[in-house]
Amino acid sequence: MLDMEQARFNMIEQQIRPCEVLEGRILELLKHVRREHFVPEGKRGMAFMDMEIPLGYGASMWQPKLEARTVQELHLTRRDNVLEVGTGSGYLTALLSALAGHVTSVEIIPELSAMARQHLHSYHRDNITLEIGDAAQGWDNGAQYDVIVLAGSTPVLPTAFQNSLNIGGRLFAIVGDAPAMEARLITRVAADTFETINILETCVAPLKNALQPKRFVF
Each residue's pLDDT, cut to its tens digit, for the chain (218 residues) gives: 679 999 999 999 999 999 999 999 999 999 999 999 999 988 998 999 999 999 999 999 999 999 999 999 999 999 999 999 999 999 999 999 999 999 999 999 999 999 999 999 988 889 999 999 999 999 987 799 999 999 999 999 999 999 999 999 999 999 999 998 999 999 999 999 999 999 999 999 999 999 998 876 66
pLDDT on residue 217 = 65
The amino acid that residue 167 corresponds to is I
The alpha-carbon radius of gyration of the chain (Å, integer) is 17
- Cβ atoms 115, 88 nearer than 8 A: no
pLDDT on residue 200 = 95
Can you tell me whether residue 83 is helix, strand or coil?
strand
Can you tell me whether residue 101 is helix, strand or coil?
coil
In a domain, 217, yes or no: no
73: CATH:
3.40.50.150
pLDDT on residue 212 = 92
Give the pairing of strands 193-202 and 180-190.
antiparallel
Domain range enclosing 174? 4-202
pLDDT on residue 123 = 87
pLDDT on residue 216 = 67
Q: How many domains does the chain have?
A: 1
In a domain, 208, yes or no: no
171 forms beta bridges with 148, 186
In a domain, 165, yes or no: yes
